[in-house]
Every structure is written in structure tokens, then in C-alpha cells.
Structure 1
Amino acid sequence: MSLRKKIADSEAVLNWFARRIATYIRMVHRNTKWQRIGYEELDRLAEQGEPVIVVLWHQRLAQSPYFFPLDKGRICSITSSARAGSMVGRVQKLFGMDTIAMSSHKRHVALSREVLGKMKEGISIGIAADGPRGPERVCSTVPLIWARTSGKRVFGITFSTRYGREAGTWDRLLLPRPWKNEGVFLCREWTETVPRKASEEQIEALRQSLEQHMNDITAEADRMVGREPWTPKA
């Protein structure tokens, strides 16, 4: 094994980077004047120990540790087992979140069983619907399958800030400026019902509905802080 790979796979090095990223996230949160909109029902459910499914776009991961009311309930995020996804999981754990690593070797049935087990314990589930590798803002059917199986409610959550830049990554990750900023957290329930015996056509229509829901709330959050809403790559 090369020295470079040994360093990249070192637990000490990975934990050091995770702490640095967490410091940046906390700094953004502390130095931003936030609005928190649409959380009344989610807060109520979390206080009652009723788990939900939280959906976000991969582009808005940078403030994901503050998406869910961790002072009222628990949430488990689904991350990739690849190096970047593993780092996301390490960072989120520093904020008190549970995580499940999703790998190409883990069968979807096994992952779903693990996720449903968490929800039976009263733990909500969070997932980037277009992760871990995209395409950008193309919603997967995974949240729909879990909603159908569990019967739990689905909430879309996003954030935006007035000042920040997009990284040159596949998802155009939004990196907020960590000082003198203005931002918004926006939460809105997706109110469609996924039938227990939905056809492929119904699932596709519902997938598009959830995708549009996420794009709508994210564009709304962007407009609220004066940011130009997202547009597909040419």
C-alpha cells in the first residue's frame, strides 16, 4: 500500500478532517442570521417520538446537521461507504446523528431492513435523494420505497444563504460564507401517498412529484435570501 493511500485511510487523519469540517459548519451556523420556516409539524412529531423520512438534495449537505431538531428526536442519515460519503458520516456523527453506510455490496433488501428497524425504534431517516453520485437533482425511488413500506410521512428540507459559492463537484455543493451571512432553513411535507401496490408508472409519477417538490422548496429558499435559483447544467 502506498504512503498516500495509508494517509488517506488513516483513522487519525480522517477524524482530523472531520473535526475541521465540523468546525466550519458550526462557524457558518453561528455567524449566520437564520430563519427557520415550516418546522412546526416536524418538531411536533419529533417530540412525540414519531419517525419521519427526511429528504434533501446532495447540493445542500453543508448544513445538514442542523436540518433536523436533534434536541427533540433522533435521526439516522444514509451515507455512502466510499471515502467522501464516509467523511459525511463522520461529520454528522460529531453532531449526534446516527448513520448507516450504503455500499454497492449491501443488497437493497438488507439496507431497507436496517432502515425500517431504525424507524421501528422511533428514529427518523435522512437521505440525499440524488446521492451519492447523482445525477444532480434526479430523485431516486429509494425514499418512495421506504415511505410505502413504513407508512411514515416524508418531509423535504433545504437551506440557502445569501453569500456562498458552489463547489466544482458533480452536485455543485453550496458552501456558505462563514461570517456575516443570512440564511434560511425551509421544511415542507411532501403530501403524496405511495400505494402499497403501486405500479411502475405510479412510482415514476411519484418520483417526479417528489423531485419537483424538492426543486420547488430549494428555489423558494434561494429566492428568500436573494440567491439565483438552480438551473440544470447546459
Structure 2
Amino acid sequence: MAFSTRLVTALIGAYLDLTLRTVRWRLVVDPSAQAVIDGDLQAVAVLWHEFLPFGPALWREAIRAGNPRRLHVMVSRHRDGQALARLFARWGLEVIAGSSDRVRADGGTRPKGGATALRRLLALRDQGAVLGLTPDGPRGPRRVPAAGAAMLAARTSLSLLPMAGATRPALRLRSWDRMRVPLPFARGVLVYGPLFDIGADRHAGGDEIVRAALDGVARIAAEALGRVDD
């Protein structure tokens, strides 16, 4: 990774360190999600790519609750994914290299990236870890689950935990995902939605189940701050 990229990553990390500590957070936790936060239940944590800056704050609450499980997040093998890996390491989040675009919609995996990542996910599941995915990452389109994302999560045989966050005020980037960036000393909300399962019919509507759940928690986060989700 080039020095300039490392410098930018370090600056972003320092900014988020400051911001996430100064935001006045309110938690919205579905009763079914509490067992995951407390560490009593494994799950696959899912959130739209635009909410990645909220990821450390979302999992920090689980750590505060005494959760001994590590969160392992799948990121792209591209440069953006490498930068995210460095950022996540600041908050104790582990990274799995390999992105959802390496998984075929018919349920198989391509020989590079996806198959290795899937084996790693299954091994981590057996070790008791909590897994993390951004179904519309790494390149979008925004809020459209990539082909095979539901299958990849379902193969772990774990429930999925939809998450989202919001602050007021906040910045919206002009990136493909319209990423939301919290501002220091803002009011914020972290949402942990109801657990759900893809089931055996994951290839017939599974991605739409994921989309509906993630849009739902995004809407809850926005409405908690008196805004309309967009």
C-alpha cells in the first residue's frame, strides 16, 4: 500500500476515533438481537455499504456488553478493501479478504477469492465468531444485494442481524453508495434489527429478504432522528 494511501487511511481513522467517541448515541435494539450483542448467540451481521463508518460504533456496544466474540468482516481484495482492513484493525475488527462479487448467483463459487473466503467464513463460524457482510459491496449498485450475497450468508447456517446507524448532522459523500459520515458531537442512533433467516429457498427471493431487512433498519435509524431515509 502506497504511503499516501496509508496516510489518508490514518487520517480517516483518527477522524472516526474522535467522532465516534463524541457522538451522543442512542441504541435501538430489537429483543431478538440482544443475545448477539451479549455474546450468547452467533450471527451474520449485515449492513449496507454506506453505513460502514458506523461499524466500529455498532460493534463497540457489543464489546461493552462483555461480548467475547470477534467480529470478522468480509472486504474486497482491491485497494479499497485493503484500506478498510487497516481502518477496522484500529477497533479490533478482523478482516476476511474476498468479496461477494466472487460468488455465483446459482449458488456456486468461483475458484478465486470467493471459495477461499467461504471456507474461511465457515471455519470462523465453527470457532464461534460473529461474521460481517455488506451485501451491496464493494462496488454497488447502492442498496442492491450482489448476486449470491444471500447464499453466502445462508451457507453459514446462522441468523442474520441487520444493522444501521445515523447521526444528525452528517455528511453524505458523492460516492456510489452515498456513504454517510458522522460528524463530531452530533446526535446519533445505532439500530440492531430483528434477526432473520434466509432458509432453504435462498435462491428464490433471498436477496430481496436481505434488502427489505436492511432498508427497514435504515428507515428506523433515519426516523429516530426525525428524518426520512433516502
TM-score by length of 2: 0.84
3-state DSSP of counterpart to 2:143: coil
Corresponding residue number in structure 2 for 1:56: 47
Corresponding residue number in structure 1 for 2:196: 191
Shift of 1:203: 2.2
1:108 correspondence with 2:114: yes
**Percent identity of equivalent pairs:** 21
1:127 correspondence with 2:133: yes
Corresponding residue number in structure 2 for 1:18: 9
Counting only pairs closer than 5 Å after superposition, residues 45-84 of structure 1 correspond to structure 2 as: 45=36, 47-48=38-39, 50-68=41-59, 69-71=62-64, 72=67, 73-84=69-80
Corresponding residue number in structure 2 for 1:205: 205
2 CA distance for matches of 1:117 and 1:153?
17
- Deviations 1:78-109 (CA, angstroms, capped at 9, x unpaired): 11111112111110011101101116672422
Shift of 1:70: 3.3
Corresponding residue number in structure 2 for 1:224: 224
Shift of 1:173: 0.5
Kept in 2: contact 1:55–1:143 (CA 8 A): no
Give the AA of the match of 1:166: R
- Structure 2: stretches of 5+ with no match in the other structure: 103-110
C-alpha root-mean-square deviation of aligned residues, in Å? 2.1
Corresponding residue number in structure 2 for 1:94: 90
Q: Which has the larger radius of gyration?
A: 1
3-state DSSP of counterpart to 1:132: coil
Give the AA of the match of 1:131: G
3-state DSSP of counterpart to 1:106: coil
1:160 correspondence with 2:166: yes
Kept in 2: contact 1:184–1:221 (CA 8 A): yes
**Deviating more after overlay: 185-194 vs 101-110:** 101-110
Corresponding residue number in structure 2 for 1:4: none
- Structure 1: stretches of 5+ with no match in the other structure: 1-8
TM-score by length of 1: 0.83
Give the AA of the match of 2:206: L
Give the AA of the match of 1:31: T
Shift of 1:58: 0.5
Kept in 2: contact 1:25–1:63 (CA 8 A): no
Corresponding residue number in structure 1 for 2:107: none
2 CA distance for matches of 1:84 and 1:62?
14
Corresponding residue number in structure 1 for 2:108: none
2 CA distance for matches of 1:159 and 1:113?
30
Kept in 1: contact 2:30–2:194 (CA 8 A): no
